[in-house]
Amino acid sequence: MSPHTLVSDPAPDHDVPANVCPVMHGSAARTGTTPIYTKTREDESMRQALKLLNPIRDDFRLADYAESFNWAEISAEFQTQLLVHADLPPKADSAPDNWYAVVFRSKRRTDCNNVDLFEADRNAYREAFSSTNGSLLMYWYTELDADDNCLATCVWSNRELARSVNMLPAHREAARLSAGSYVHYIIDRVCITWLPDEARLDVKPWPTE
């Protein structure tokens, strides 16, 4: 499998600027203030479990998200982490019982400015993490393959918070730079749900509106 980078800390230190894909959350504009986020047992358990994320097939950049990663291992770790973080408050009954993931698949232009793209990506991550008080649970990206394909993915505590950062300054700059950086790109939204009766995470496309 190819090298990849996991970012799950508030002040990331990316080391591979030539291979970064930008954080993309959706096309909806930000309106009003960012929703308030409070750390929960489930979210912190998911943050820790996702540190194990690894591809299980060579074509993961192009293949189905649910079939490309070690979700069984992550599910087992999530269950363990629920015990570790038992002192944290659980999600409110009114809160969504799932997590919102964004999958960004791209083919990089050979003449794009990788340094500027790298800086914009790093700034967008920091902005997303700080402006939502840590609702961004994970950001993971891989190096380019031989055909300049890349995959980046991020997981959020919920969709509302993910969409709230789209019009913040660093995200607007990342979007501006990305417009001319790729031959093409595809953005998929994914719903990750914990099924306690089956002790596993269910990974499927986000329901259409």
Q: Is the pLDDT of residue 29 over 70?
A: no
User: How far apart (Å, rounded) are the C-alpha atoms in residues 22 and 14?
Assistant: 12
What CATH number corresponds to the domain at position 19?
3.30.70.100
Supply the range of the domain harboring residue 79: 4-205
DSSP 3-state of 88 = coil
pLDDT of residue 57: 97
20 confidence band (pLDDT: 50, 70, 90): very low
Average pLDDT value for the chain? 81
Higher per-residue confidence, 113 vs 103: 103
Check: CB of residue 126 under 8 Å from CB of residue 12.
Answer: yes
Please report, for residues 113, 137, 189, 193, the alpha-carbon distance to residue 100 in angstroms, rounded to integers and kept in the order given: 30, 10, 7, 9
Q: How does pLDDT run across 133-143, given as a tens digit for each residue?
A: 788 899 898 88
Q: How does pLDDT run across 148-201, given as a tens digit for each residue?
A: 999 999 999 998 888 877 777 766 777 776 667 778 889 999 999 999 999 999
User: How far apart (Å, rounded) are the C-alpha atoms in residues 138 and 143?
Assistant: 17
Give the number of other Cβ atoms within 10 Å of residue 142's Cβ: 22
Tell me what the mean pLDDT of segment 21-30 comes to: 45
User: How far apart (Å, rounded) are the C-alpha atoms in residues 187 and 103?
Assistant: 6
Rounded percentage of the chain residues whose pLDDT exceeds 70: 77
Q: Is the pLDDT of residue 92 over 70?
A: yes
Strands across the sheet containing 182-195: 4-7, 136-142, 149-156, 98-108, 182-195, 200-205
Number of domains in the chain: 1
Please name the residues in contact with 201: beta carbons below 8 A apart, sequence gap of 6 or more. Answer: 71, 74, 75, 78, 192, 193, 194, 195
pLDDT of residue 35: 67
Q: Vertex 61, ends 157 and 138: CA angle to 5°?
A: 20
Check: CB of residue 196 under 8 Å from CB of residue 122.
Answer: no
Give me the helices (H) in the chain, please: 41-49, 71-84, 114-131, 159-163, 169-178
Higher per-residue confidence, 78 vs 174: 78
